[in-house]
Chains A and B, each alone.
Chain A
Amino acid sequence: MSIFEYNGSALVAMVGKNCFAIASDRRLGVQLQTIATDFQRISKIHDRLFLGLSGLATDAQTLYQRLVFRHKLYQLREERDMKPETFANLVSAILYEKRFGPYFCQPVIAGLGDEDKPFICTMDSIGAKELAKDFVVAGTASESLYGACESMFKQDMEPEDLFETVSQALLSSVDRDCLSGWGGHVYVVTPTEVKERILKGRMD
């Protein structure tokens, strides 16, 4: 079994009209066994920047700690929050540092940049960035997620519509993947507020 499939994960981020949504599943497993059904895969870096880490959970936790550390240092030096584009470059650089002994993670970065323009990107485990204007996916359910998002996505969705679309795409994709699921965690971020919701899907 691949090391990326050891814990199981599903992540998706989608762009809407002056907003974005980032969603993940909630399962933490060890191969075939489910350990927990309330695992947090998405973390807030600052009010307008969220990071989701799929792949090996231990590396996701280590990488998250390193990135939060770097961002806090940046905040102390620059006296402001990092822009999403800058943060994506930072993640890419940190991942490439370990080119020949990588972190087994695939990050999904979603944020609101200048003029509240939504920014999403994903990268592979050695930092190859993939910018997208519509949606990005990661995790063991990524193939299903690509299909679901491609068919359900529409340009310029309002936050409520975006939430529905992301939720349906996530739940239908994880239902086809035995290693991810057990509910969903969705963050919908607009320039004024962050709405966190928990989805109840098939609990298997």
Chain B
Amino acid sequence: MECVFGLVGNDFAVVAADTSAVHSILVHKSNEDKIMILDSHKLIAASGESGDRVQFTEYIQKNVALYQFRNGIPLTTAAAANFTRGELATALRKNPYFVNILLAGYDKETGPSLYYIDYIATLHKVDKGAFGYGSYFSLAMMDRHYHSGMTVEEAIELVDKCIVEIRSRLVVAPPNFVIKIVDKEGAREYAWRESVKDAAVASA
């Protein structure tokens, strides 16, 4: 029931992900951040098997950093996306990673971009994308309301519309979401949309 979706706006890209960490019927935590900041201008929103998700995204993050150390310049978003796809494709017939990824980035030369990379390493550059059961609702909302060149306010309004749909129509809807944005200033957390807060830990 993990929901991840994202879209490309005027000169930014925004991704949103649910924040529940679930095992079978138990919710371990509801403030798990599934959107990793890959480097200064890239975000990787991942959904799928939790162990694979954390391991794989950290592996990509460290390799992207290594490239920057070795070569003195950061990878472009397209290069990072192709690298990620390559790693998933190599592992596919040996020891596959069950992680679906939306890679959002901003490059000075080419502007914002969003890449859809599913767990069997299908790569496609998209304007809007989503994974999970939530995608049935978020893609439909985005198909209706998305247009190219949206402002941040319009995009966040659309993201909120998608979250409202997921909350009201998905049977085991995740209560909390995190929204992150990447533009020429960099990749950063934009907001949380919480409807259930974790209970405070009682003091001993």
Residues on A lying within 8 angstroms of B by beta carbon are 7, 28, 30, 33, 35-36, 39, 56-58, 61-62, 101
Q: B115-133 vs A: 1/0 string, CB under 8 Å?
A: 0101011111010010000
Query: Within 8 Å of chain A (Cβ to Cβ): is B89?
Result: yes
A-B contact pairs, 11 of them (CB 8 A): A28-B124, A33-B139, A35-B116, A36-B124, A58-B89, A58-B92, A58-B121, A58-B122, A61-B85, A61-B122, A101-B93
Query: Within 8 Å of chain A (Cβ to Cβ): is B63?
Result: no
Tell me which of A39, A56, A101 contacts B124 (CB under 8 A).
A39
In whole angstroms, how far apart are the Cα atoms of A30 and B131 in the complex? Answer: 10
Shortest beta-carbon distance, B2 to chain A, in Å?
A: 15
Q: How large is the interface on B (under 10, 10 to 19, 20 to 34, 35 or more residues)?
A: 10 to 19
Query: Within 8 Å of chain A (Cβ to Cβ): is B76?
Result: no
Give the most central of B124, B126, B129, B135: most A CB within 10 Å. B124
Q: Do A36 and B126 form a contact, CB below 8 Å, given A58-B89, A62-B89, A101-B93?
A: yes
B124 lies within 8 A of A35 (CB): yes
Chain B residue contacts of A39, Cβ below 8 A: 124
Shortest beta-carbon distance, A36 to chain B, in Å?
A: 5
B129 lies within 8 A of A35 (CB): yes
Chain B residue contacts of A28, Cβ below 8 A: 122, 124
Query: Within 8 Å of chain A (Cβ to Cβ): is B67?
Result: no
Tell me which of A7, A36, A58, A61 contacts B116 (CB under 8 A).
A36
Chain A residue contacts of B116, Cβ below 8 A: 35-36
In whole angstroms, how far apart are the Cα atoms of A35 and B6 in the complex? Answer: 13
In whole angstroms, how far apart are the Cα atoms of A62 and B93 in the complex? Answer: 12
Residues on B lying within 8 angstroms of A by beta carbon are 85, 89, 92-93, 116, 118, 120-124, 126, 129, 135-136, 139
Chain A residue contacts of B135, Cβ below 8 A: 33
In whole angstroms, how far apart are the Cα atoms of A36 and B115 in the complex? Answer: 11
In whole angstroms, how far apart are the Cα atoms of A62 and B92 in the complex? Answer: 11
In whole angstroms, how far apart are the Cα atoms of A30 and B118 in the complex? Answer: 9
In whole angstroms, how far apart are the Cα atoms of A57 and B92 in the complex? Answer: 13
In whole angstroms, how far apart are the Cα atoms of A7 and B123 in the complex? Answer: 12
A7 lies within 8 A of B89 (CB): no
Chain A residue contacts of B89, Cβ below 8 A: 58, 61-62
Shortest beta-carbon distance, A1 to chain B, in Å?
A: 14
Besides A30-B118, A62-B89, 4 more A-B contacts (Cβ < 8 Å) are A35-B116, A58-B89, A58-B120, A101-B93
In whole angstroms, how far apart are the Cα atoms of A158 and B129 in the complex? Answer: 41
Tell me which of B93, B121, B126, B139 contacts A61 (CB under 8 A).
B121
B123 lies within 8 A of A61 (CB): yes
In whole angstroms, how far apart are the Cα atoms of A30 and B123 in the complex? Answer: 12
* CB closest chain-A residue, reference B92: A58
Shortest beta-carbon distance, A102 to chain B, in Å?
A: 10
In whole angstroms, how far apart are the Cα atoms of A30 and B124 in the complex? Answer: 12
In whole angstroms, how far apart are the Cα atoms of A61 and B129 in the complex? Answer: 19
In whole angstroms, how far apart are the Cα atoms of A143 and B126 in the complex? Answer: 30
In whole angstroms, how far apart are the Cα atoms of A61 and B122 in the complex? Answer: 8
Chain B residue contacts of A101, Cβ below 8 A: 93
